[in-house]
Chain A
């Protein structure tokens, strides 16, 4: 195999630009929703910001559609580059109305917020969240929904001529499980599941909020935003205090259910829909999450009780278990002030939460983190290697695991899983070092926040705030981008850029 890089030609760049234009068109359409809300609510400042943002996206999208239209087929390399750029350019354009709203200290803060939304991280650096206009809250939560469901899938399933080309985009998003043979149908199934839960979840949350004393209108508004933030494992909140604001066990239970359902892979949702519920229990990912989450919760519960933070079952469940579910699902909803992880939670409980955040949820879901499937495969690889050592040299050792069907553990699968795992660890180290470099935080806070950002979780111990250093904000933004795309697409983009500069011209 030749190691020579081929320089992409003008047609390649045209194709990439064409698809990025489609993504911006989709983003422009998303902005029309908060624009309508702003006009309805009489929020004129926000309305002008959304009108400018939407016009910009729709104009650039329409221009690229008119000028760059091509019938050239997508390759894997194109798909990777488009996805990596879509999240970056999408975040830049999504940040425009945010910055224009005047609620962010500088453009980088608006970009951080937009990246946090699109990657379903849920960290926020907005000023005065409790008094944010309705339309701006709607926009932040809607962006999470768009990012969670995969903005690329959204746009391409609406605009693409056929489904075959989308395969490369879909896999680049870190959702490499092909639920259905046709990607358009897969995207539709994903939306069918999300749409069903949108109705069920919003109704359940509205009822829970009504019982908590909310007026019907306010209950519905909070419910729909809470749904977007919970099911899409995003973690944004309408209120600064997050879910703690509601002081309602019913709200917390519904949110927990939505977070758990949101972290189920769409493959498992498909199994539940298609009369194959046993698949959920047999899947390596479910089993890995069951074992790791139980172990982590035992540590969290023990840590909280031993430290004297709580002494009642209800408190251990509503604070400890909720936070664990929030961490594992990579949502980031909080039921206590972030600083109390450091001041009141002792040492063991926050350490277990960091571990749970690092692992994250299931692949092929909106959850972030290393993903349970990779931890499961890494563990099976370890078992495989130990079995090989213990058996005679001549023995052929075959290790299997269940993921959709019985699969043989192959070297390339193990290598891919452990490589991504190591890259996540690298991201956590980068974020920790960056926070330590500014000297404002200790190692525990720095590591907690770095893992939370790198895994697209959103639980915050207090390092992230509107006035945080810009350099740290930039590093966290990079971590969110890398984590959401699971590194590979970003590396492919870097490789593509290098081949543009140094590659061999095609003859």
Chain B
């Protein structure tokens, strides 16, 4: 489907949603890691 949403399949939607959730979870994991690091340092 690149460049055109008309051809978007359910699979594209599932994949896109999972990628977005994965990215957000990675950000949360980075936050947790930084929290642990800061607690240890300070």
Interface of A toward B, CB cutoff 8 Å: 180, 185, 188-189, 192-193, 196-197, 200, 253, 256-258, 260-261, 264, 269-270, 272-277, 280, 294, 297-298, 301-302, 305-306, 311-314, 316-317, 320-321, 324-325
Q: Which of B1, B28, B36 contacts A313 (CB 8 A)?
A: B36
B19 near A260 with CB under 8 A, answer no
Q: Which of A253, A273, A301, A321 contacts B13 (CB 8 A)?
A: A273
B13 near A196 with CB under 8 A, answer yes
Nearest CB of A to B36, in Å: 5
Q: Which of B1, B13, B20 contacts A192 (CB 8 A)?
A: B13
With CB as the reference atom, state the residue of chain B lying closest to A320: B35
Nearest CB of B to A507, in Å: 46
Interface SS, A side: helix
Contacting residues, chain A, for B5 (C-beta < 8 A): 180, 185, 188-189, 192, 270, 273-274
User: Top 3 A-B pairs ranked by shortest CB distance?
Assistant: A273-B16, A260-B24, A321-B31
B17 near A200 with CB under 8 A, answer yes
A258 to B39, CA, bound (A): 26
Q: 8 Å CB contacts to A: which residues of B1-42?
A: 1-6, 8, 12-13, 15-17, 19-21, 23-25, 27-28, 30-32, 34-36, 38-39, 42
Contacting residues, chain A, for B39 (C-beta < 8 A): 301, 305, 311-313, 316
A386 to B29, CA, bound (A): 36
Nearest CB of A to B17, in Å: 5
B34 near A272 with CB under 8 A, answer no
With CB as the reference atom, state the residue of chain A lying closest to B6: A185
A260 near B42 with CB under 8 A, answer no
A297 near B31 with CB under 8 A, answer yes
Contacting residues, chain B, for A313 (C-beta < 8 A): 32, 35-36, 39
Nearest CB of B to A350, in Å: 17
B42 near A274 with CB under 8 A, answer no
A189 to B6, CA, bound (A): 9
A260 near B38 with CB under 8 A, answer no
Nearest CB of B to A143, in Å: 25
B12 near A316 with CB under 8 A, answer no
A277 to B34, CA, bound (A): 25
A280 to B21, CA, bound (A): 13
| Interface pairs (9), CB distance under 8 Å | A272-B16, A272-B23, A274-B3, A275-B2, A294-B30, A302-B38, A313-B36, A321-B28, A321-B34
B28 near A256 with CB under 8 A, answer yes
Contacting residues, chain B, for A253 (C-beta < 8 A): 28
- A274-B3, A305-B38, A320-B35 are known contacts; what are 14 more A-B pairs with Cβ within 8 Å? A180-B4, A256-B24, A257-B21, A257-B28, A258-B24, A264-B20, A269-B16, A273-B16, A274-B2, A274-B8, A274-B12, A302-B42, A305-B39, A311-B39
Interface SS, B side: helix
Nearest CB of A to B13, in Å: 6
With CB as the reference atom, state the residue of chain B lying closest to A260: B24
Nearest CB of B to A312, in Å: 7
A73 to B19, CA, bound (A): 40
A321 to B23, CA, bound (A): 16
Q: Which of A188, A192, A275, A316 contacts B38 (CB 8 A)?
A: A316
A189 to B7, CA, bound (A): 12
A270 to B27, CA, bound (A): 19
Contacting residues, chain A, for B32 (C-beta < 8 A): 313, 317, 321
With CB as the reference atom, state the residue of chain B lying closest to A293: B27
Contacting residues, chain B, for A312 (C-beta < 8 A): 39
Nearest CB of B to A311, in Å: 7
Q: Which of A180, A261, A276, A317 contacts B20 (CB 8 A)?
A: A261
Q: Which of A274, A280, A311, A325 contacts B31 (CB 8 A)?
A: A325
Contacting residues, chain A, for B31 (C-beta < 8 A): 297, 317, 321, 324-325
Contacting residues, chain B, for A302 (C-beta < 8 A): 38, 42
Given the known interface contacts A257-B25, A302-B42, the answer about A297 and B6 at a Cβ–Cβ threshold of 8 Å is no
A261 near B6 with CB under 8 A, answer no
A269 near B1 with CB under 8 A, answer no
B34 near A200 with CB under 8 A, answer no
B35 near A301 with CB under 8 A, answer yes
B38 near A301 with CB under 8 A, answer yes
A273 near B12 with CB under 8 A, answer yes
With CB as the reference atom, state the residue of chain A lying closest to B39: A313
With CB as the reference atom, state the residue of chain B lying closest to A318: B35
A258 to B28, CA, bound (A): 11
A275 to B42, CA, bound (A): 42
A272 near B38 with CB under 8 A, answer no
Residue among B1, B17, B30 with the most chain A CB within 10 A?
Answer: B17
Residue among B13, B15, B16, B35 with the most chain A CB within 10 A?
Answer: B35
A192 to B1, CA, bound (A): 15
A177 to B16, CA, bound (A): 19
A481 to B36, CA, bound (A): 39
Given the known interface contacts A273-B8, A280-B23, A311-B39, the answer about A297 and B34 at a Cβ–Cβ threshold of 8 Å is yes
Contacting residues, chain B, for A261 (C-beta < 8 A): 20-21, 23-24
A321 to B21, CA, bound (A): 17
